[in-house]
Structure 1
Amino acid sequence: MLQFLPINLALKQYLHFTGRERLFALFLKISSQLVVLRPISQQQNASKRKKMSDTALDSVADVEIDSSGKFKYILIKIWPKDDKNNSKYIVRGDGRVDYHADIFDEVEPKLRSKKISCDCEGGGRIQHKPQAKTILVYGYSQGFGRADHSITVEKLKAKYPGYTSITFNNEGY
């Protein structure tokens, strides 16, 4: 919103801006008595950054798990390098690995090559029965701890909307 202020009030307001607001404040018109001052909010600026980095995040699939069976999985939080405020979760599961860390060791370099940073938020196991259209998420990772299975279930529900049951419990290893 534009504000029409006498120059002395506009300057006082300008001096109260934080460092970041001050950097993005624009003086649109200066006359002898009036200043039109339009601060560009941090939120507007953040949304521009977010749009630029969304394409990097969008290029990463939310869910990549085995097509069936019982296997280990991890929940990973990803964000564009230098923009940790713009993040999303991804789920990776693989029956070929012995340890949850093996999954992370495979995924992390691929993300890094796209200039995407990541943290493993935890792990567990998935029992995927495509014939019955069910998925059960449970357990924990000894190395990474228990993932927030509710986030994993939401991601799986989006990936498999036709499934009759996608649930979790915190039982077992």
Structure 2
Amino acid sequence: MTGEVPRFDDETGVPLNDAARHVVAKAKSRAGPAGDAAAAGAGKGVLHSVPDVDIAEGKWKYVQIELTAPGEEPKLVVRNTAGLAYHPDMYEAAMDALERQGLKQVRGRVIGGGRIEFYPKEKTCSIYGYSKTFGRAKGCNKKSAEIVEAAYPDHKVTWSDDGY
């Protein structure tokens, strides 16, 4: 599997090779312990430094990820990256970015995803659809819209579970 590029079916989102199956399995499972929740109140940990939203301008797929770190409460974040074609790619890019920042203790699990149309100049953001690879996640788009709205309070943020 080393060096194999993950491939997904364009219509169904189904993984087509071992590399793709590995990405999906990693994104669906917690890659480590959540930590001691009682210790979370002891101070601000590494998750506090992770932005709630990191999204690209334009129309792209997105994922909502639950991040965990030892001794901290889980944190939901919304992520996408311009130019990536699949939801698992969005997850991998988000987790790779955290690792490059030295946050190797942070683990992530995909809650769901869909599409985001984000236009900062117009101050609009629309969240809709679902991930064919990870399936529908009830409440994901609504919660993602709340997270984006908190990060961009001067933007009009809308959401829907319709569409793909």
* Deviation at residue 110 of structure 1 after TM alignment: 4.3
**Among the aligned pairs, what percent are the same residue?**
34
Q: Could you say if the C-alpha distance between residues 110 and 128 of structure 1 is closer, same or farther in structure 2, counting changes exceeding 3 Å? A: closer
Q: Which letter does structure 1 place at the counterpart of 2:68?
A: W
CA deviation digits over 1:96-145, x for unaligned, max 9? Answer: 10111111112224446521121011110011122322111001111112
Report the count of equivalent residues.
Answer: 124
Runs of 4+ in structure 1 over 3 Å off: 51-54, 109-113
| Pairing partner for 1:170 from 156, 161, 164 | 161
- What is the DSSP-based 3-state SS (H/G/I as helix, E as strand, rest coil) of the residue aligned with 1:146? coil
CA contact (8 A) 1:111 1:117 kept: no
- Counterpart secondary structure, 1:126: strand
Aligned CA-pair RMSD: 2.1
Amino acid corresponding to residue 94 of structure 1 in structure 2: T
SS at match of 2:93: helix
**Pairing 1:18-167 to 2, within 5 Å after superposition:** 46-47=37-38, 49-52=39-42, 54-66=44-56, 68-81=57-70, 83=71, 86-111=73-98, 113-114=102-103, 115-147=105-137, 148-163=140-155, 165-167=156-158
Taking structure 2 as the reference length, the TM-score comes to 0.68
Structure 1: gaps spanning 5 or more residues: 1-44
Q: Which of the two has greater helix per residue? A: 1
> Shift of the alpha carbon at 1:78?
0.7
Counterparts of 2:37 and 2:79, CA distance in 1:
29
Q: Which has the higher contact order (CA 8 A, sep 6+)?
A: 2
Asked if structure 1 preserves the Cα contact closer than 8 Å seen for 2:37 and 2:73, the reply is no
Cα distance in 2, alignment partners of residues 53 and 75 from structure 1: 25
- Alpha-carbon distance change, 57 to 86 in structure 1, aligned in 2, over 3 angstroms: same
In structure 2, stretches of 5+ residues that fail to align are 1-35
In structure 1, what residue type is equivalent to 2:67?
A: I
Q: TM-score by structure 1 length?
A: 0.64
Tell me the distance in 2 between the aligned counterparts of 1:117 and 1:123. Answer: 18
What is the letter of the counterpart of residue 131 of structure 2? S
The answer (yes or no) to whether the contact 1:128–1:134 under 8 Å persists in 2 is: yes
